[in-house]
Chain A
Amino acid sequence: MRGLKIVLMSFCLTGLVACAQPGAIDEINDPHEEQNRKTHELNKAVDQAVLKPVAQAYSDVVPDPVEDAVSNFANNLGMPSNVLNHLAQGEVGYAIESTGIFLVNSTVGLGGLVDVAGWNGQYAHATDFGETLAKWGLGEGAYVELPLLGPSTERAALGKVLDSVTNPLSGLTAEPEGIATAAKIGEVLSDRVEYGDVIDQTLYQSADSYSQARLFYLQSRRNQLGYQFEGEDALFEELYGREQF
């Protein structure tokens, strides 16, 4: 992993990758907009024809406790990767916390089916390789809408690839790969129903669903990565004018 960091750093140095953070949380860098919009239409069509109806059927047929167990299981499988990323970012505290949650849920929580830690209000701090790359200084890159996966950035997309390559479970686990994949699909279906109103609102009720989804994703992603919104002063001034007296 150290080697990778050096490679990325040298990218930064040679200027191949823009390494600065965006100045404002609403800054949009979308040079591939035309292609992205085509992908967006494809994603919407897939959602409408497959994901949404299948998710609804899954949620209707499968009892809630089973649905929760499947989602918990999928979540738990992601924990080793979560721990690795926290470590790679130097966030030892988060790594220890996530390890504890993983151990508790894997044992007392019956292999991750029950979110015992969550009962006690303990949740792993979400992270991924995209965030690790951000902490290592890699720039966000352009906005991209990925086929089937949806809104992303170049950096987050690279992170997704690296997450799947470095996921320790892809080599170590005793479970057959199929179970992990099935659980992950179950989780995606549950989420599609749980956030159904927000997703439907954005995709099907917005005047321009592409730009709404882009703005939504970029703001929440940058918030997750801890970016500060620098436009706050200007925004307030626009609302209420300068100090008048």
Chain B
Amino acid sequence: MGANNFDRRGFLITGCAVAAFAATPIAAATPRDAEKLITRLTKDINKSIEARSSDAALFVQFEKIFRKYADVSTISRYALGADARSATKKQLSEFGDVFITYIARKYGSYFKDFIGGEITVLGSRTVKKYFEVKTSTKLRGQEPMEVLFHVSDRSGSLLLFNLYVEGVSMLLSERNEIGSMLDKRRGDLDKLIADMRALTAG
């Protein structure tokens, strides 16, 4: 019994040590790091818009940018909502993949027209457990448009997990939309993945 106790304590101590080690980030991220990340992101977006390539080429660019800077798996899991819990690993990864193509096209077309002008990073701050980077985009004859980027390093690296265009949250809008798409298919995730693939293939 004594040995048993000892073992458990030993396990607990080791466990704590491992946890403490894991909890210590290699270097704690700061709002400034988040700002740098978004500055690089907006530079990439501005560059691909300036290139004035075809829509198809632009969407490929946006998809690359999204995969590089965004926490793709977390975002796609959130968009699936409660349905993510019953999904298999394979379904989750397939959905994640096609979802990013879909989102790159959708937001790419917004950024293309809507934004047209340059995105400027204004500043950053810590909001509770994550960072918020504020940007502004000049629009013709109107108040500049505000886009907020939310960034976290919780995934292990510093990545974008949400953005707000004038108060409209990408995560909320996409969970709503994916939810409606699933409803239309009576919750059949495989059918949704297949349809989204077909939709984004062209």
Contact = CB atoms under 8 A, between A and B. Distances in A.
A235 B168 contact: no
- Give the contact-size bracket for chain A: 35 or more
B167 A25 contact: yes
Contact of A197 (B110, B155, B180): B110
A201 B114 CA distance: 13
Contacts of B197: none
A215 B161 CA distance: 19
B22 A245 contact: yes
A220 B114 CA distance: 16
Interface string B151-189: 010110000011010111101110011001101100000
B112 interface: yes
Interface string A227-245: 0010011011011100011
Given A197-B114, A201-B109, A220-B168, A239 B141 contact: no
Nearest to B127: A232
Nearest to B155: A240
Given A72-B141, A211-B180, A198 B114 contact: yes
B19 interface: yes
A212 B167 contact: no
Contact of B128 (A26, A201, A220, A232): A232
Contacts, number: 96
B22 A239 contact: no
**Interface-central residue, B78, B162, B167, by most chain A CB under 10 Å:** B167
Size class of the B contact interface (CB-based, 8 Å): 35 or more
A206 B183 CA distance: 13
Contacts of B22: 245
A238 B75 CA distance: 11
Nearest to B148: A223
B129 A236 contact: yes
Contacts of A197: 109-110, 112-114
Given A72-B141, A245-B22, A219 B110 contact: no
A215 B172 contact: yes
Given A197-B109, A207-B177, A245-B20, A224 B114 contact: no
Interface in B106-143: 106, 109-110, 112-114, 127-130, 140-143
Given A201-B110, A211-B176, A216-B168, 4 more contacts: A195-B114, A197-B113, A232-B127, A235-B162
29 contacts: A26-B169, A26-B172, A68-B140, A72-B141, A123-B142, A123-B143, A123-B144, A125-B143, A196-B113, A197-B113, A198-B110, A201-B106, A207-B177, A208-B184, A211-B176, A215-B168, A215-B172, A219-B172, A220-B166, A220-B167, A223-B168, A224-B166, A224-B167, A232-B127, A233-B129, A239-B74, A240-B152, A244-B23, A245-B22
